[in-house]
């Protein structure tokens, strides 16, 4: 089983909020200071801090502090984990095995039972 499903659940919970999705979209364009993120929303600074904590704690976003400012950016490692899980799910829908050790050569409409 090797996957940490608790961590994935945390990530998907973070992704289930419209504001957090908008923040991630903004960060896809590059690192931003919290003040620049806040400008785009009709929320308070403590509410933004709450959203950013959730995104950072689950591993989708990373931060760095410079003086009194906090800069946020996408955490590539966290996003890669979500991407790989979704690739696994999509492969099942396409009836393809994603296990690199599989030698079965999965046939169409036959699910691999590795």
- pLDDT tens-digit series, residues 48-90: 999 999 999 999 999 999 999 999 999 999 888 888 888 877 7
pLDDT-derived band of residue 108, with 50, 70 and 90 as boundaries? Answer: very low
Alpha-carbon distance of 100 to 35, in angstroms, equals 44
Bridge partners of 70, per DSSP, are 65
Q: Output the furthest CA–CA distance in the chain (Å, rounded).
A: 58
**Strands of the 69-74 sheet, one edge to the other:** 32-33, 69-74, 61-66
- Please write the tens of the pLDDT for every residue from 15-34: 999 999 999 999 999 999 99
- If you search the block for the tokens 């973070």, which residue do you land on? 14
Predicted confidence at residue 87, as pLDDT, reads 83
Q: How many of the other CB atoms lie within 10 Å of CB of 67?
A: 5
Q: What pLDDT shows up at residue 94?
A: 59
């Amino acid at each position: 089983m090797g996957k940490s499903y608790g961590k994935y659940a945390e990530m998907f919970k973070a992704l289930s909020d419209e504001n957090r999705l908008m923040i991630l979209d903004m960060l896809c364009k590059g690192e931003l200071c919290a003040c620049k993120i806040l400008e785009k929303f009709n929320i308070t600074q403590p509410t933004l801090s709450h959203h950013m904590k959730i995104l950072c704690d689950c591993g989708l976003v990373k931060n760095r502090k410079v003086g009194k400012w906090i800069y946020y950016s996408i955490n590539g490692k966290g996003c890669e984990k979500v991407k790989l899980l979704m690739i696994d799910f999509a492969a099942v829908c396409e009836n393809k095995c994603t296990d690199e050790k599989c030698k079965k050569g999965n046939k169409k409409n036959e699910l691999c039972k590795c």
